[in-house]
Amino acid sequence: MDRPFQALRISDRVFWVGAIDWTLRDFHGYLTSRGSSYNAFLVLGDQVTLVDTVKKPFFDEMMSRISSVVDPARIRNVVSLHAELDHSGCLPQLVAAVRPDRVLTSKAGVATLAAHFDLDVPVEPVPNAAAVDVGGARFTFHEARMLHWPESMIGVLDGDNIMFTQDAFGMHVASHERFADELPADIVDYETAKYFANVLMPYSSPMSKLLDKLGDVISGAKVIATDHGPIWRRGQADVVAKYRTWCDRRAARKVVIVYASMWQSTASMARAIAEGAHEGGARVKLMALDQAHRSDVLTELLDAAALLVGSPNLNGQMFPTVADLLTYLKGMKPRNLIGAAFGSYGWSTTAADQVHETLKELKVELVREPLVVKYVPRDADLLACREFGRQLAAKVCETVA
């Protein structure tokens, strides 16, 4: 049926019926410079089943895509793999509009959905890791606790071998291309890494366990149907391998230097340290926080061995953009980093000390006391910064193959 928004066929009986959010630029603190999509999927069996929904403002777009395949009133089952509002936000509208027989979710999902909505429909738990018939289509659901919410789960449509992985293996990219292999590989690689760094990094341990259990199944899936961005019909084993590398925090010989500066003194120190780190054999990424977003810093940390954070002193405090980054890092828990604090000061070194203490809290292995320069660095100070960069890179090269 011709509708303003059309579905896309994924297999004989599975259709993408999601929504594209072209203008999204902030996803709870994550810079989504390429927008995103909320992917929902229609499965046609003896009955019609909808897997996940979309963010509330996109209800009409989803319904239009569903209507291009079937009358939405034929939806009898709704599967909620993840209760976060970008995937469940229009559940109340959907339930009111189509009156399904049931909403199926994980055991924990029953309580989570109840804490979000007063849904006028039975909300039933599905068995974990056992095949279940949903309207004539056989699914196996696997609990995926803390990936990245307690109620998250993954569904496999048996026969079609399509894995519905909700947030996992996703990326924030808005595009009409629905398959990752239809987009430039550099964009796909960067956005997949950025997504892992900013959504899944704190949950590397449960992700690692999930990959131990299901990695081969996911690698062998015909399609990995994630809830954000393009879906995977090629390179499934490669993306699983990347996830393993990131979960294990396998670092490269890479130093990330991030700083704020008021009068370019801390900036000069950063550049001199970068010069030395390069001479010492490390790859360097230097990021100024008046330009670089916290989520882009996290992406660079995914394969970094060292993190250096520079801050000037502003009224006895670290610079606000540095505090913002460090607060974000506390939640994201990057691991296996060495590092140090540095910065210029006037009459108190409080800022560099605060950064030092926060890095300690983050379990960064500190290689020295804060490197500080009073007011404006002279050549001798910058030479000391460069030497520090060299020493740090030597330590990185010692520990990273």
- Out of 143, 227, 300, 303, the only residue in the binding site for ligand FEO (CB under 6 A) is 227
Q: Shortest distance, CB of residue 111 to ligand FEO, whole angstroms?
A: 17
Stretch 120-149 residues interacting with ligand FEO (CB under 6 A) = 148
Residues catalogued as catalytic? 28, 82, 84, 86, 148, 167, 195, 228
Dist CA 137 CA 155 (whole Å):
12
Q: Supply the DSSP string of 124-177, one letter for each residue.
A: EEPPTTSEEEETTEEEEEEE-TTSSSTT-EEEEETTTTEEEEETTT------S-
Q: How far is the CB of 36 from ligand FEO (least distance, A)?
A: 8
| Residue 355 parent element (H or E) | helix 350-361
Q: Which of residues 333-372 bind ligand FEO (CB under 6 A)?
A: none
Q: Are 349 and 310 spatial neighbours (Cβ–Cβ below 8 Å)?
A: no
Nearer to ligand FEO, 140 or 226 (CB): 226
Kind of pairing between the strands at 283-288 and 254-259: parallel
Identified binder of ligand FEO from the candidate list 21, 52, 151, 167, rule CB under 6 A: 167
Question: Using CA atoms, how far apart are residues 122 and 124, in angstroms rounded to an integer?
Answer: 6
For ligand FEO, the binding residues in 24-43 under the rule CB under 6 A are none
- Packing angle of the helix pair 265-279, 379-399 (nearest 10 deg): 40
Bridge-based pairing state of the strands 313-314 and 283-288: unpaired
88 or 268: whose CB is closer to ligand FEO? 88
Q: How many residues does the chain have?
A: 401
96 contacts 120 by C-beta, under 8 angstroms: yes
Q: 37 or 349, CB closer to ligand FEO?
A: 37
Smallest gap, in angstroms, from Cβ of residue 170 to ligand FEO? 7
Could you tell me the smallest distance in angstroms from the CB atom of residue 86 to ligand FEO? Answer: 4
Task: Confirm or reject binding of residue 228 to ligand FEO (CB under 6 A).
Answer: yes
User: Rounded distance, CA 16 to CA 27, Å?
Assistant: 22
The residue sitting closest to ligand FEO, measured at its beta carbon, is 84
d(CA 256, CA 131): 46
Residues from 62 through 121 that contact ligand FEO (CB under 6 A): 82, 84, 86-87
Count of chain residues binding ligand FEO (CB under 6 A) = 8
**Close Cβ partners of 247 (under 8 Å, ≥ 6 residues apart):** 204, 205, 207, 208, 211
Q: How far is the CB of 148 from ligand FEO (least distance, A)?
A: 6
> Considering the rule CB under 6 A, would residue 21 count as an interface residue with ligand FEO?
no
Q: Which is nearer to ligand FEO, 82 or 194 (CB)?
A: 82
Residues in the site for ligand FEO, rule: CB under 6 A?
82, 84, 86-87, 148, 167, 227-228
